[in-house]
Amino acid sequence: MCMFIKCNAKMKQLTNNYTIRFSDEQISSLNKLKQYNVDIARFIRQAIKEKIQREWKQIKEEKERIKMPF
């Protein structure tokens, strides 16, 4: 029962949708992962999270550079 509540609480947090398009090669790769019982949605969310964490410093520096008046 406790696991059900955790899962349900997690699903309530995922309320926004964002539509993206994939190439045929990317779809075939994702389908291959699905054959290995990988949760595709979780995989994509985790990949986005890791990418943002890895490049956050560079993203922030670029934004701060634009604010410079000279």
pLDDT in tens, 36-66: 999 999 999 999 999 999 998 887 876 666 5
Has residue 20 been placed in a domain? no
Q: Are 46 and 53 in contact (CB under 8 A)?
A: no
Which comes out higher in pLDDT, residue 12 or 22?
Answer: 22
Domain count, the chain: 1
Task: Establish if 19 belongs to a structural domain.
Answer: no
Per the domain annotation, does 44 fall within a domain? yes
Q: For residue 1, what pLDDT band results from cuts at 50, 70 and 90?
A: very low
pLDDT the model gives residue 34: 96
The mean pLDDT of the chain is: 82
CA distances from 37 to 19, 33, 41 (A): 23, 7, 12
Q: Is residue 12 part of a domain?
A: no
Report yes or no on 4 lying in a domain: no
Q: Phi/psi of residue 23, each to 5°?
A: -75, 170
Cα–Cα nearest to 17, from 41, 34, 50: 41
The boundaries of the domain holding residue 65 are 25-70
Domain assignment of residue 58, yes or no? yes
18 within some domain: no
